[in-house]
Amino acid sequence: MVFKRLDGRKLDEMRPITAKVGIIPNADGSAMFTFGKTVAIAAVYGPRMLHPQHMQSPQQAILRVNYDLLSFSVSDRKRPGPSRRSQEISKVTEWSLSPALDLKEFPNTVIDVQIYILQADASTRVAGINAASMALAQAGIPMRNLVCSVAIGKMDKELVVDVDKDEEDFEEGEGATDIPLAKLANTDHYTLLQLDGKIQPSLIPKALLLADKACVQIYEIQKKALKEVVTE
Amino acid sequence: MSSMGLSSLTYNTLLRMFAEGKRFDGRKLIEQRDFTVEYNVSNKAEGSARVRMGNTEVVVGVKLDVAAPYPDSLDKGNLMVSGDLLPLASPRFESGPPRFPAIELPRLIDRMVRESHIIDLKKLVIVEGEKVWTVMIDIYPINDDGALIDAASIGTIAALLETYIPKLNEGGRVNHDAKPTEKLPLEKDLIPLTFTFYKLGDSLIIDPTREEEEACDGKIVWGLSTSKGKDHVIHSCQKGLESSMTREDIEQMMQHLPKVYDDTLKKLKKFLK
Amino acid sequence: MEKFEKSQEEYEDFGSEPQSRIIVVPGEVVFSGEDFLPGEGARREGNDIVASRYGLAEKIGRVVKIIPFSGAFIPRRNNVVIGRVSDIVHSGWIVDIDYASNGFLPLMESPRFVNKGEMDQFLAIGDVVAAKIWSVSPKSIDLAMKGKGLGKLEGGFIFRVNPSRVPRIIGREGSMINLIKENTGCNITIGQNGWIWVKGNDLDSELRARKSIEFIAEKVLVSGLTEKMEGWFTKNK
């Protein structure tokens, strides 16, 4: 019996993706990235002066990421202000992006990355990472690679690509497992790996391969968005 | 993007320009930029709108939930206006506890909405004394190129006009899966808006760009609407910043306000459904 | 294997063969082959020359470099910058040059003798200066103000463009900026940090100069820009 996803997608099919660069004129770099109904926007300011001085590093730029949901992005209004969840996501996002950046070029400065979710339908942190990656490139930060990110899921026994909210809430059989991943494009280097659920170790390499394939497509979309904005 | 502070050069240039009735983008001193309004910023909001006025962009979302009424208004629903100046929108906005401009903006919009009575809070009672609807408006600038308050007022009204009341399930909680059919009950033909006059030297302007706004040292925000589409009524007012306003300034604003309101209302109506 | 797209876009002619320029993103392979050498903004990975910046890849001879579309201003000795005096200390003036660290103008750099009590009469907080970078160190950029076109700026106005657009606004051997000066009659000083000062005989010509510069700054990938601007000035009298 072939497993059917709730919205009819194939197991390895992502939701429709849109990507646009340069949406916030004040920012040094900015971008929007959507996975279906999940909409993330990111703005980069920097490298710029960092206050207070004692937070500066003489060896490299500090990368500071702030991720949060807008109050009306979720069904139950989220009260303004950073939650524990958003603080954790901010930190893992910072770790997912820093391997891509040549931070040593800008000692004593800060690069601020602001990520906000306008509309949440699961996979918010990975959408945010995809947007931030394009925004960092547009800001002219020297980068080894773009960072591509996607959430691999497991619904009962099947691995699926790009988890939406209904799938996140799936409860039959072995329930839902959520595996957000990010990697440096075109490499074997994974910069974000989180997991919630129930999964045999033997399935992890397969999850990575599914993410690899999805990230190849995401990279092409990010590249196209960056190239389009200058040729308009 | 630059966060270089205001220079005396720019201050003097703008002083000179405004005295000659000139602005960098060719507008008159009392002329608002054209704007656009879009809806459905978030499908999770009961109503939402995005306003773009020049390079200024503001999103506003309205959410409704069931709550207990306030003890001193058991026969009324609740209204709450919040927001934040997201660091995303400007090199000048910082993360952390809100500074005064971030506190002021939602409060100004709150007073405009509340004092105009566009929402009849008495119509938001579910069980008197026990359960009422709370209307929660959240305002977020996405790019600050000046005049955030006025752009926010346009976005707030547009969002409210397209806000639907959620259906309740048997337990009396909001049922997010059922498609709402009833709109938020609003006073008909009443569209409150804010207009902020900024002062530099002896000149008054409205709808400054960020560059102009940073140079101004006086401001007054007015909330107004038209009663039954005819007489203009002021609902709220707050003077801000360090400079004083003269009697002449205030009288001039009273001359300008009706026309400025009418022009904006005409442009806004094109985006109302 | 050469991998570049012959796209329909025109490329600004900086002096190398136009067909050797393509838009690249970080991590993208620009050219493959042992023969090529990575220049600024590019690196070698195995057999490939790979971009480390978002911009235009340019091949001059064997060297492949990336001209970035955007990015923070990198201060270099002899750069002219425009900044705002943000503080006065006993040894000189602190100047905000819109960079991660401040510029510093030592007391002795003032063109005439200024004693310590009168420092703010020469340069006060909020004043704008055009200065040259004398030296760059990790925490401070030392400035000098002796030279033509340098010093306190008065009249006119200042505005900012993305620093990476400054070369286009200057043009090859100053061709573009001279065109703007001729067509507006304005005095224009361009800071490598993206700040530009314009002063003309009247506000209208100053506004035209600003508008033309902002127009150029937006056009990232257009060739024959000088001719196009000549047309722009005819249309925008």
State the CB neighbour count (10 A cutoff) for residue A198. 12
Does the CB of C86 have a partner CB in chain B at under 8 Å? yes
**Beta strands A17-21; A190-193: pairing state:** unpaired
Q: Look up the CATH number of the domain holding residue A215.
A: 3.30.230.70
Superfamily of domain C157-235: K Homology domain, type 1 (3.30.1370.10)
Contact assessment for residue C30 and residue C49, using Cβ atoms and an 8 Å cutoff: yes
CA-to-CA distance for B212 and A187, rounded, in angstroms?
48
CA-to-CA distance for B235 and B220, rounded, in angstroms?
13
Q: Do A143 and C138 touch (CB under 8 A)?
A: no
Q: Residue A60's beta-bridge partner residues?
A: none
**Which residues from chain C sit within 8 angstroms of residue A146, using beta carbons?**
25-27
Q: What is the Cβ-side half-sphere exposure of residue B163, based on CA atoms within 13 angstroms? A: 30
SS (H, E, C) C136-164: EECCEEEEECCCCCCEEECCCEEEECCHH
Domain parsing of chain B, residue ranges: 9-269
* Nearest of A148, A139, A135, A71 to residue A106 by alpha carbon: A139
Contact assessment for residue C26 and residue A146, using Cβ atoms and an 8 Å cutoff: yes
Q: Do C156 and B8 touch (CB under 8 A)?
A: no
Q: Which CATH number fits domain C18-68: 2.60.110.10, 2.40.50.100, 3.40.50.300, 3.40.50.2000?
A: 2.40.50.100
Size of chain B in residues: 273
Q: Do A47 and C220 touch (CB under 8 A)?
A: no
Minimal CA separation from C85 to chain A, in Å:
16
Residue linked to tokens 């000692």 = A107
pLDDT digits (tens, 9 = 90+) for C174-197: 999 999 999 999 999 999 999 999
| Probe site for chain C from B3, B13, B14, B145 (most C CB atoms < 10 A) | B13
| Probe site for chain B from A34, A77, A111 (most B CB atoms < 10 A) | A77
Distances (CA, A) of B23 to A21, C206, C235, C237: 30, 12, 21, 18
- pLDDT tens string for chain B (273 positions)? 677 889 999 999 999 999 999 999 999 999 999 999 999 999 999 999 999 999 999 999 999 999 999 999 999 999 999 999 999 999 999 888 889 999 999 999 999 999 999 999 999 999 999 999 999 999 999 999 999 999 999 999 999 999 999 999 988 899 998 999 999 999 988 999 999 999 999 999 999 999 999 999 999 999 999 977 678 999 999 999 999 999 999 999 999 999 999 999 999 999 998
CA-to-CA distance for C85 and C104, rounded, in angstroms?
9
**Beta strands C103-106; C140-144: pairing state:** parallel
Q: Which CATH number fits domain C80-153: 3.40.1280.10, 3.40.50.300, 3.40.50.970, 2.40.50.140?
A: 2.40.50.140
Helix (H, G, I), strand (E, B) or coil at C124: coil
**Which residues from chain A sit within 8 angstroms of residue B52, using beta carbons?**
none
The architecture (CATH level 2) of B9-269 comes to 2-Layer Sandwich (3.30)
* Nearest of C151, C152, C155 to residue C202 by alpha carbon: C155
Domain parsing of chain C, residue ranges: 18-68, 80-153, 157-235
Global pTM?
0.94
Q: How many domains does chain A have?
A: 1
* Nearest of B47, B60, B52, B50 to residue B106 by alpha carbon: B60
**Beta strands C55-60; C63-68: pairing state:** antiparallel
Phi/psi at A190 (5° precision): -95, 130
Encoding tokens for residue B23?
């602005």
CA-to-CA distance for A87 and B206, rounded, in angstroms?
39
Question: What is the rounded average pLDDT of the residues C102-123?
Answer: 85
Helix (H, G, I), strand (E, B) or coil at C3: coil
CA-to-CA distance for A220 and A144, rounded, in angstroms?
16
Segments of chain A scoring below 70 in pLDDT? 1-2, 232
Is A40 among the domain residues? yes
CA-to-CA distance for C131 and A100, rounded, in angstroms?
36
Is A3 among the domain residues? no
User: How many contacts (CB atoms, under 8 Å) link A and B?
Assistant: 87
Contact assessment for residue A73 and residue A105, using Cβ atoms and an 8 Å cutoff: no
ipTM computed for the complex: 0.94
Does the CB of C154 have a partner CB in chain B at under 8 Å? yes
Residue C111's pLDDT band (boundaries 50, 70, 90)?
low
pLDDT digits (tens, 9 = 90+) for C32-46: 999 999 999 999 999
Query: Which range marks the domain in which residue A44 is found?
Result: 17-231
Contact assessment for residue A176 and residue A197, using Cβ atoms and an 8 Å cutoff: yes
Is the pLDDT at C1 greater than 60? The verdict is: no
CA-to-CA distance for B229 and B249, rounded, in angstroms?
27
Same fold, C80-153 and C157-235: no
Residue linked to tokens 């502070």 = B5
Q: Which residue of B has its CA nearest to A22?
A: B143
